Homo-oligomer: A and B are copies of this chain.
């Protein structure tokens, strides 16, 4: 409840102070300092009178003024490829939750995964004097990150990691492994991977985890069966067409590193007259809410998206507090559904 004084302005510390006949600095210490300082600043009785009046007048501190003085804004900037990507939207919900707990507010901006835009958006946020950045669209080459480091901008990565920088991500390598175990255990021997964008660690790690485990299990997989693609349904479409046209024996299972690519794949398979789950198994990644709701429910690696967001925010807070923080990997689990439930008769 932001209230106004008689003349329509919002209530300030000075208003409270003069009404009580004490100095603004005393009011400030009472209202905005840790209990130790506040204790030393005024008597218990005065403190109570101040708090009471602040409540009554609906005092709300002016963050511009405080920020100007302290050079901190309690604002965090969040940059994501696009919020209309469900995965990032959910991570952002986690960020918002953790930010609220820590007394921060957050800005989000979409970079559409374009390096130019990434820079531009980061600059806009820094111009707004955010205390730190959560970067959800890091590219593996990391040139932008090097610049930010060099300028001492506090940041953490989210969702995608880049070696050498603090990050909160899903253990994507493990996720890929889980899928390899599952498909191998179900008797599949000819598989293909819709691998995603090669600049994203999510794509590289999931694919790498899968392929390495597959080989460790004794399987083989042709390089031509690993198709890099966009993360959306159209990318899944195109990649699946490529796979089917590759000249390799038709795979009995496809692992897509992203649910939307998986959905695209399912569409293409269907239009080729193949039944998902019977002719070809499909496994996605992230277990977004549609996965379970598809006419043929999609197997998917469930990644703890909310938790990744929360963790990213908390990590950033620790970075701001001057700690050196290590990358955090959160554990995924595999949800097996109709799209990959059948075993291949051995």
Selected contact of A105 from candidates B82, B110, B124, B232, CB within 8 Å: B124
Q: Is the CB of A2 within 8 A of B65?
A: no
| A interface with B by C-beta (< 8 Å) | 1-2, 60-65, 67-68, 73, 82-84, 86, 89-90, 92-93, 96, 100, 105-110, 123-124, 126-129, 151, 232-233, 263-264, 266-267, 270, 289-290, 293-296
Q: Is the CB of A84 within 8 A of B82?
A: no
Q: How far is the CB of A10 from the nearest CB of chain B, in Å?
A: 9
Q: How far is the CB of A271 from the nearest CB of chain B, in Å?
A: 9
Q: Is the CB of A96 within 8 A of B67?
A: no
Return the 4 tightest CB-CB contacts between A and B, nearest first: A84-B89, A64-B67, A233-B293, A64-B68
In the complex, chain B residues whose CB is within 8 Å of the CB of A232: 289
Q: Is the CB of A129 within 8 A of B62?
A: yes
Q: How far is the CA of A96 from the CA of B109 in the complex (A)?
A: 7
Q: How far is the CA of A106 from the CA of B82 in the complex (A)?
A: 15
6 A-B pairs whose Cβ atoms sit less than 8 Å apart in the complex: A2-B126, A63-B64, A105-B128, A233-B289, A263-B290, A267-B293
In the complex, chain B residues whose CB is within 8 Å of the CB of A93: 82-84, 110
Q: How far is the CB of A131 from the nearest CB of chain B, in Å?
A: 12
Report the nearest B residue to A1, measured CB to CB: B123
In the complex, chain B residues whose CB is within 8 Å of the CB of A124: 100, 105
Q: How far is the CB of A292 from the nearest CB of chain B, in Å?
A: 8
Q: How far is the CB of A119 from the nearest CB of chain B, in Å?
A: 10
Q: How far is the CA of A83 from the CA of B107 in the complex (A)?
A: 13
Q: Is the CB of A294 within 8 A of B295?
A: yes
In the complex, chain B residues whose CB is within 8 Å of the CB of A290: 233, 263, 290
In the complex, chain B residues whose CB is within 8 Å of the CB of A92: 83
Q: Is the CB of B106 within 8 A of A107?
A: yes
In the complex, chain B residues whose CB is within 8 Å of the CB of A128: 63, 105
Report the nearest B residue to A83, measured CB to CB: B89
Q: How far is the CA of A49 from the CA of B86 in the complex (A)?
A: 48
In the complex, chain B residues whose CB is within 8 Å of the CB of A89: 82-84, 89
Q: A84-B90, A93-B84, A294-B295 are in contact. Are A108 and B108 (CB under 8 A)?
A: yes
Q: How far is the CA of A266 from the CA of B290 in the complex (A)?
A: 12
Q: A127-B63, A128-B105 are in contact. Are A263 and B68 (CB under 8 A)?
A: no
In the complex, chain B residues whose CB is within 8 Å of the CB of A2: 123, 126-127, 151
Q: How far is the CA of A88 from the CA of B264 in the complex (A)?
A: 23
Q: How far is the CB of A168 from the nearest CB of chain B, in Å?
A: 18
